[in-house]
Amino acid sequence: MGKVDLNAKIPNNVGLADDRRLCRALEHWLPLYMEWWNDMGPAGFQTKDIYLRTAISVEAGGWANFDYVKMPDYRWGIFLSPLDQDRKIGFGDHFGKPAWQDIPGEYRGNLRRIIVTQADTEPASVEQQRFLGSIAPSLYDMRNLFQVNVEEGRHLWAMVYLLFRYFGRDGRDEAEELLSRRSGDEDKPRILNAFNQACDHWLSFFCFTHFTDRDGKYQLASLSESGFDPMARTCDFMLTEEAHHLFVGETGLDRIIRRSAELTKETDGDPRSAGGIDLELIQRAINYWFTYSLDLFGSEISSNASNFFSEGLKGRFKEEQRYEDHIMKDGVKPLSLVKNGAVVQEEIPYRNAMNEVLREEYINDCERALRKWNRTLEKVGVDFRVKLPSRRFHRHQGLYADYIFDPEGNLITEEEFKANERNWLLGPDDNDYLSSIMHQVIEPGKMANWIAPPSRGINGQDLEFEYVRL
């Protein structure tokens, strides 16, 4: 493994000190990044002390170092998981050959595209979440928000390192573009659609960290299989941070669901009368963010995805442990398509269905979380159950985007959709209501009334701990 240099301007374990040109290029980008962070990062809390963990080494346990930090002083570092000299490419047409330490010229374009797409999501999410601190339901939650934000900033650094180190001038241009696109901007939007949607209250924040960050988990895991070893190792280390983002989303939704169920019982079915969130509204938010997150896996039939796999650039989730055949030249995969106004099954060459293979792993993981939330509902003693809509519902990308489906996956007309949209999807009325009940709660240990407390604090601290010093 590269030695960890924590005293450098940019903490790293990639030997920046030995590469003056690269180091200068990144140090030149640093103030541009800081300018972006100050403009587009968490609004209103940049001078506050936050109880944050900072990655200081990649060894197990050593990378989570907790202390009070002002966000602009956070040490955004470049850390790759340890190098394995003997690592082999684990899938595709180059299966079994040594992993590449440099970029194969013929794959430069595809790798650049993958890295830029991955990179673009990181600052986008920070932009989407920038006003949430001022309506945080507790200091505990506020701290988690900022933890996620600084780590998404670090994920941008992880990708920008690859761009500068391996793509020369093109990489520098891409790195600048990454700071100039803006989530939701009409002229310069972020690349993927979920990252241009408003996320301006905490129900959306928890749905986002549950469903959208979870796409991050699956994409990063596929990229951590890559034959391009530096990208594989960068993504592998990012996954250790990602786990906390998913924890925030999954437990956050569980706490809202629990509180909503309690209030539903206490108020005889009208949780809004107690400033709570009705379970139907939670279902609409799940429908909204789950389907935008499904879009992030790309089209069901994709020659890009096929190429990424055959070229050894992007594997499947846990390629080695979960699959026997790592080449998949001749396999097929059944897919639901629309033909002559009906949904029919057809077999598609497996490599072309790679996006769908990954989406399926993702959906199974989402189902698992749902079962957990439904156990919470059962325990509190309400009959309502949350569920995932069909993967065909409300899609803007891929095969199903050209048709309209109901949440069960049946083809419907636009009129039918319009008539039911308000029951199916988070809408403007919902957002207005949620904004009206969300106010900042800053007394240590206290929670807003619409959410249950977490079962424990962060890093062994009490819930009453002052996670943010205001």
Toward Fe ion, which CB reaches closer, 115 or 279? 115
Q: Which does 118 bind (CB under 5 to 8 A by kind): ligand BYC, Fe ion, none?
A: ligand BYC
CA 297, chain centre distance (Å): 12
Q: Which does 306 bind (CB under 5 to 8 A by kind): ligand BYC, Fe ion, none?
A: none
CB 358 within 8 A of CB 294: no
Minimum distance of ligand BYC from residue 108's CB (angstroms): 16
b/e string for 34-72 if b means 16 or more Cβ within 10 A?
Answer: eebbeebbbeebeebbbbbbbbbbbeeeebeeeeebebe
b/e string for 293-311 if b means 16 or more Cβ within 10 A?
Answer: bbbbbbbbbbebbbbbbbb
- 302 sits near ligand BYC (criterion: CB under 6 A): yes
Among 136, 235, 248, 296, binds ligand BYC (CB under 6 A): 296
- 193 sits near ligand BYC (criterion: CB under 6 A): yes
Cβ-based neighbour number of residue 79 at 10 Å: 26
Q: Going by C-beta distance under 8 Å and a sequence separation of 6 or more, which residues neighbour residue 391? A: 294, 359, 363, 400, 409
Binding mask 206-245 for Fe ion (x = CB under 5 A): -------x--x-------------------------x--x
Among 153, 216, 315, 389, binds ligand BYC (CB under 6 A): 216
Residue with tokens 């003997």: 86
- 118 sits near ligand BYC (criterion: CB under 6 A): yes
Report the candidate in 285, 325, 252, 280 with the shortest Cα–Cα distance to residue 95. 325
Minimum distance of Fe ion from residue 31's CB (angstroms): 22
- 299 sits near ligand BYC (criterion: CB under 6 A): yes
Toward ligand BYC, which CB reaches closer, 5 or 250? 250
Phi, psi of 367 (to 5 degrees): -60, -40
Minimum distance of Fe ion from residue 244's CB (angstroms): 8
Minimum distance of Fe ion from residue 246's CB (angstroms): 8
Report, in angstroms and rounded to the nearest whole number, the Rg of the chain calculated over CA atoms.
Answer: 22
- 90 sits near ligand BYC (criterion: CB under 6 A): no
Minimum distance of Fe ion from residue 111's CB (angstroms): 18
Q: Which does 142 bind (CB under 5 to 8 A by kind): Fe ion, ligand BYC, none?
A: none
Toward ligand BYC, which CB reaches closer, 258 or 395? 395
- 174 sits near ligand BYC (criterion: CB under 6 A): no
| Residues numbered 41-70 forming contacts with ligand BYC, rule: CB under 6 A | none
- 441 sits near ligand BYC (criterion: CB under 6 A): no
Toward ligand BYC, which CB reaches closer, 296 or 458? 296
Toward ligand BYC, which CB reaches closer, 171 or 298? 298
Q: Cα separation of 422 and 17, whole Å?
A: 56
Among 12, 121, 144, 390, binds ligand BYC (CB under 6 A): 121
Minimum distance of Fe ion from residue 62's CB (angstroms): 20
Q: Residue 414: in which H helix or E strand, if any?
A: helix 414-424
Cβ-based neighbour number of residue 429 at 10 Å: 10
CA 188, chain centre distance (Å): 21
CB 151 within 8 A of CB 74: no
Give one DSSP letter per residue of 307-356, joined into a string.
HHHHTTSS--TTHHHH-S-S--SS-EEEEEEEETTEEEEEEEEGGGGHHH
Toward ligand BYC, which CB reaches closer, 278 or 361? 361
Binding mask 98-137 for Fe ion (x = CB under 5 A): ------------------------x---------------
CB 19 within 8 A of CB 101: no
Cβ-based neighbour number of residue 147 at 10 Å: 24
CB 375 within 8 A of CB 220: no
| Residues numbered 291-320 forming contacts with Fe ion, rule: CB under 5 A | none
Toward ligand BYC, which CB reaches closer, 121 or 260? 121
Q: Which does 11 bind (CB under 5 to 8 A by kind): ligand BYC, Fe ion, none?
A: none
Give Cα separations from 292 to 9, 364, 401, 444 (angstroms): 38, 16, 11, 35
Q: Residue 234: in which H helix or E strand, if any?
A: helix 229-266
Q: Going by C-beta distance under 8 Å and a sequence separation of 6 or more, which residues neighbour residue 129? A: 42, 145, 148, 149, 199, 205, 208
- 151 sits near ligand BYC (criterion: CB under 6 A): no
Terminal Cα-to-Cα distance of the chain (whole angstroms): 40
Taking CA 316 as the corner, what is the angle to CA 150 and CA 14, rounded to the nearest 5 degrees?
A: 45
User: Tokens standing for 157?
Assistant: 């650094």
Among 4, 71, 78, 114, binds ligand BYC (CB under 6 A): 114
Q: Which residue is nearest to ligand BYC (CB)?
A: 298
Minimum distance of Fe ion from residue 370's CB (angstroms): 20
- 155 sits near Fe ion (criterion: CB under 5 A): yes
Minimum distance of Fe ion from residue 470's CB (angstroms): 25
* Position 74, amino acid: Y
Residues that bind ligand BYC (CB under 6 A): 114, 117-118, 121-122, 125, 152, 192-193, 212-213, 215-216, 219, 295-299, 302, 304-305, 314, 355, 397
Residues that bind Fe ion (CB under 5 A): 122, 152, 155, 213, 216, 242, 245
